[in-house]
Amino acid sequence: MELGHRWRFLSRYLRNPHAVGAIAPSSRALAEAVSEPYRNSNGPANVLEVGAGTGAITRYLGTILRKGDTLDICEINHDFADLLERDVLSNANFAPLVTQGRAKLLRLPVQEIPSDNRYDFVISGLPLTAFELRDVQDVFEVIRQCLKPGGVFSYFEYLGMRRTSRTFAIGKRRARIRAVSAYLTENLRQHRFTTKTVFLNFPPASTHHLRFD
């Protein structure tokens, strides 16, 4: 990724670390790991990416999108959405897909994704541990509803982030993190079918893949 994109990501993190959730964009290795179920599937497929940020994973998805596949990219942050539109959706991989209506940017919260949109794969870069429990529950419920039968929800979290946050947070923030962590742990227990640790990322991360049916 270009140095300018890394700087924009870092500057946005410094302004609002809880909303951005990381100090650097995702690596190619993490992009490969979190999109593995989609990459190994038989098309055509409808794919939704939520929390696209500066487009590190989006760019990778553009290189593996197959004939007949579609990609919706959901990003609520105005700065990141502008960057995606200007620097990602206009590049050689995406411009023809945008023209064909097979790739589009959704500038809205996950909770406002139209209920009639149905996807085979949902890939998330949302910083879930930075959210209130109610928001995390709402995100999971919307994803459940928009996944087709047998669809896969994939997301990543940074190694040790939940434990570290619980240890150093105090008061209401600690209670919030504990509640979100418990909710994520229970969903992983019930619905995760595979996970993978990616050390070639900063920070290292685990990818989780879930089916809700």
Q: Which pLDDT band holds residue 7 (cuts at 50, 70, 90)? A: very low
**What's the pTM value of the predicted model, to 2 decimals?**
0.88
* Rounded-to-integer distance, Cα 118 and Cα 97, Å: 19
pLDDT at 144 over 70: yes
How large is the angle between the packed helices 133-146 and 171-191, nearest 10 degrees?
A: 20
* 63 or 20: which leads in pLDDT: 63
Question: What is the mean pLDDT of the segment spanning 170-180?
Answer: 90
| Residue-wise pLDDT tens digits, 75-104 | 999 999 999 999 999 998 899 999 999 999
Domain extents in the chain: 3-16+26-210
| Residue-wise pLDDT tens digits, 30-82 | 999 999 999 999 989 999 999 999 899 999 999 999 999 999 999 999 999 99
The topology (CATH level 3) of 3-16+26-210 is Rossmann fold (3.40.50)
pLDDT at 14 over 50: no
